[in-house]
Structure 1
Amino acid sequence: MKHSQKQLGFSLVELMITLTLGLVISGALIQIMLGNNMTERLNQAVASVQESGRFIITRMRNDLLMTGRYDILSPSLNRNVDVVVEAAVVQNNPVPLPGDFISDGTVGALEGASGANDTLVVSLQGSTDCRGYKLGYAANEEFYVVNQYFVSGTSLQCRGFDGRVLRGQQNAVGNDGNKAYTLLDDVYSFQVQYGVTAAIAAQDNSSIPVRFVTADSLAALRAGGAQVVAIRIAVLIRADSDVNIDPVPSFKLLDETAIQPDQQRLFKQFETTITLRNVKNFIRSRNI
């Protein structure tokens, strides 16, 4: 009498089905892992560029708020020069232009040609320049500060000057070669506009900006008695990440022609307008 034997194990068809399902599931898991990794990298890039943008906007706002400040009664003010004349210089020229200073005629606000980066220069009474330097003054002294902001390569930098040195009133002390201090890297574009009041002929001392213009318009407007009472800045920052963005969107900063970065990276635009309270108060107090 014969006994039937049961077949043990899997058939070839079953093995093939199992392997196929395993490959499908493994592929799906790999795609999920890759997607999660890309999402994490993208989130890190967004956080990075947001942090950079918040930092530079806050830093520039804090620096520029004091533009045009000159307190002739301040006990901390160094009085080695005629401070009455110096007060008039600072208050009437809160945004210096090239040619304003006899010792260095290149220092002044500039409009970048064809959408190139702008150069911003402001003057004020302060205890340090934008780099934190005292420029030879005592620890408790304030002086005529001129700060310059510009882009070198992809770095937004600042350089500080003693306004009295620029005016030829004294020799430079402690300027440290006027070396620049980097505020932020990965800056793709830096643009500036200036809010100006009406001309003197308008008999308007409300100190309200009637329009925003570029630096190349300031000389003619200043000659007519208009004054800068606000500064608008825009920066385009690249994220510190290798995340590829395709296609890269275009960006329009202030009145410039829209630009499209040539790198497939994450970029973000930041803008702010700073009201120059010290200049506005000066405009309101003067007789027109």
Structure 2
Amino acid sequence: MNKQVGFTLIELMIALALGLVISAAALMLFLTASRSQALQQGQASLQDDANFGLNTIIQDIRLGNLNTVQSSINDLSTYGGIVFRSSANAVTVTGTERANLPITLIGGTVAQNLLSRSHGQTVGSAPQWSGISNINTFSSDQLTIQYLPQYIKDDKGTLATTDDVWYGGFDCEGNNLEFTLAQGRQVIVQRYFLRADSNKSDNEPNQPLALACDAGYYPLDGSPTSITGFGDAGQIILKRADHFRVLYGIQNGANYRYVDAATYLALPAPRPRILLIQLGILGRSNQSVGNDSTFSDSQVFQVLDQAVKIKTPAANSPKYARQVVTQTVALRNTFGERGQ
């Protein structure tokens, strides 16, 4: 009789079962690690982009009202750091038209929807302010500022004066602020707003909105008629943002409060001076975090004074991380003459 050596049927079944358990555990670890990596990458990209974009805006806002004659600003302050009015919506005071931009500036580059705007005001169409947002009940805001850079005269290292220029750094689009002596010093105008981004993924759950900045300039001297380079789609400074909110800190005697542009312009004249700006951005990650149940489509976000919900995304769309980033910016160039 020949002896045969091998596994019994029971031993074989036990070995297969153990193999399946070990394989399942390894697969579970892999899937968990993949989800964790996607979540961490999404959160990291969200925080990096939001902080970078917000810091860029803050640095520019602090320039508002720089090198102007009057420190106190409101909607009628000529060359005022926050731009609420132009010739398109100027107010006549004792027979004189008043606005933040020079009255001689006319046409499309000073349209109302290129100025500081907020929810509750009549929207326009892109590339002007359209109020576009991924929020159900509110339109996004727009902030427009102006400032005169601290120019230095650059002689280009030569004794000749024909090549001398005024140099004032860079605007928010990255343009070099370099002007000939014949052009003279230029006042810089910048606006911050949400717009659709053409560079998008196919599976994004809502409109691919980005926070952009559009910059232009006009001469300080003379009677300019338009703002050069202003009124286009601008450059993106925050790749994904679902909502943008701006509030203005105003002082009326001993009282302080925060209001949006629509509320401020509805106040009785003379409107109070502005000392602070509050920014609120609902940022969204560039990368999907999968279908993590932690991120609910019905989540409520508090963006400054607004409690908002994201518009219902397309069915079975991937989840994205979102975070509210806020900042209060003191307009240091407006703090003078407060006792007058």
Q: Specify if TM > 0.5.
A: yes
Gap regions ≥5 residues in structure 1: 73-87
Structure 2 CA distance for aligned equivalents of residues 250 and 173 of structure 1: 40
Change (3 A) 1:37 1:24: same
SS class of match (1:97)? coil
Match among 178, 185, 188 for residue 242 of structure 2? 188
Q: Partner of 2:279 in structure 1?
A: 233
Separation of aligned partners in 2, 1:213 and 1:222: 14
- Whether 1:116 and 2:139 are equivalent positions in the alignment is yes
Q: Deviations over 1:10-40 (max 9, x none)?
A: 1011101110111111111111111111111
Change (3 A) 1:162 1:56: same
Write the distance in 2 (CA, Å) between the matches of 1:65 and 1:46: 28
CA-CA distance at 1:65 after TM superposition = 0.8
Distance 1:109 1:161 in 2: 15
2:214·2:230 contact (CA, 8 Å) conserved in 1?
no
Q: Which protein has the bigger helix share?
A: 1
Considering fraction of residues, name the structure with more strand. 2
Q: For 1:32, which of 12, 15, 29 is the aligned residue?
A: 29
TM-score, normalised by the number of residues in structure 1:
0.78
Check if 1:260 corresponds to 2:303: no
Q: Which one of 166, 174, 187 corresponds to residue 144 of structure 1?
A: 187
**Distance between the aligned counterparts of 1:52 and 1:149, measured in 2?**
16
Question: Counterpart amino acid of 1:228?
Answer: I
Could you tell me the percent identity over the aligned residues?
Answer: 25
Deviation at 1:245, TM superposition (A): 3.6
Task: State the distance in 2 between where 1:135 and 1:175 align.
Answer: 12
Tell whether the 8 Å contact from 1:48 to 1:239 is kept in structure 2 after alignment: yes
Secondary structure class of the residue paired with 1:257: strand
Go from structure 1 to structure 2 and tell me whether the alpha carbon gap of 1:164 and 1:178 turns closer, same or farther (over 3 Å shift): farther
Deviations 1:249-277 (A, max 9, x none): 32121111322353431111111010000
Mapped partners of 1:168, 1:178: distance in 2? 25
Contact 1:94 1:228 (8 Å CA) reproduced: no
RMSD over aligned CA atoms reads 2.9
TM-score, normalised on structure 2? 0.67
Aligned runs of 1:1-288 on 2, under 5 Å?
7-70=4-67, 89-90=78-79, 93-98=80-85, 99=89, 100=99, 101=101, 102=103, 103=106, 104-106=110-112, 107-113=114-120, 114-126=137-149, 127=168, 128-133=170-175, 137-138=179-180, 142-153=185-196, 154-164=209-219, 169-172=223-226, 175=229, 178-198=232-252, 202=253, 210-221=256-267, 223-243=269-289, 244-246=291-293, 247-248=296-297, 249-263=299-313, 264-281=319-336, 283-284=337-338, 287=340
| Aligned 8 A contact 2:284 2:320 in 1 | yes
Change (3 A) 1:57 1:136: closer
Aligned length: 256
